[in-house]
Amino acid sequence: MANEHPEREQSAFYQHWIDETVRFHDLDAYNHVNNNVIGIYFETARMALLEEIQPKGWTTNAHFVLAKNTILFLREITYPNRIRVGQHILNVGKTSMTSCNGIFVGDICVALGETVSVWIGNASRRPEPIPDHIRSSLLRS
């Protein structure tokens, strides 16, 4: 599958980073990182950014939940390895935000992800407008 956004394969595209170590248990029977683990790497990066913006957000009156997750696998990740996961906010709407991620082994992009997260109220469990202070933090990131 072709990458529709080649700029996302460049590390300079991302503002927020986490470092991860590939663990032996991340591997599947084909001796590379399992596709589901790639999603966990992306989730860890996304949650690190959200934790900066709204510490312990899940304990507050409202927070983001994942509504859509797309992953493009570009290359295998093997063990042992160190990876970097970059995060970039693409858009902040009324009740949702769209972000993207890239996983890098050295300077090589090995996977891309795009997510839509929706701001929901803990009581209503329904989408609600993103508060101004959260919106401005996301737009600055």
Nearest in space to 71 (alpha carbons), one of 140, 139, 141, 3: 3
Query: Domain count of the chain?
Result: 1
Radius of gyration of the CA atoms of the chain, in A: 16
DSSP helix/strand/coil, 38 = helix
Q: Tell whether 3 is covered by a domain.
A: no
Q: Tell whether 2 is covered by a domain.
A: no
Q: Tell whether 112 is covered by a domain.
A: yes
Q: Tell whether 1 is covered by a domain.
A: no
Residue 22 lies in domain: 8-140
Q: What is the pLDDT of residue 67?
A: 97
The backbone torsions φ and ψ at residue 15, rounded to the nearest 5 degrees and listed phi first, read -100, -30
Say which amino acid occupies 51: E
Q: What is the pLDDT of residue 55?
A: 83
- What tens digit of pLDDT does each residue of 10-62 get? 999 999 999 999 999 999 999 999 999 999 999 999 999 999 998 877 778 99
Q: What is the pLDDT of residue 3?
A: 74
- What tens digit of pLDDT does each residue of 103-129 get? 999 999 999 999 999 999 999 999 999
Q: What is the pLDDT of residue 141?
A: 75
Distance of CA 19 to the CA centre of its chain: 13
Q: Tell whether 70 is covered by a domain.
A: yes
Q: Tell whether 114 is covered by a domain.
A: yes
Residues in the chain: 141
Q: Tell whether 53 is covered by a domain.
A: yes
DSSP state of 95: S
pLDDT at 1 over 60: no
d(CA 102, CA 90): 13
pTM of the model: 0.92
Q: Tell whether 89 is covered by a domain.
A: yes
Q: Spell out the residues 6+ positions from residue 4 whose beta carbon is closer than 8 angstroms to its own.
A: none
Write the CATH number for 96. 3.10.129.10
Q: What is the pLDDT of residue 94?
A: 97
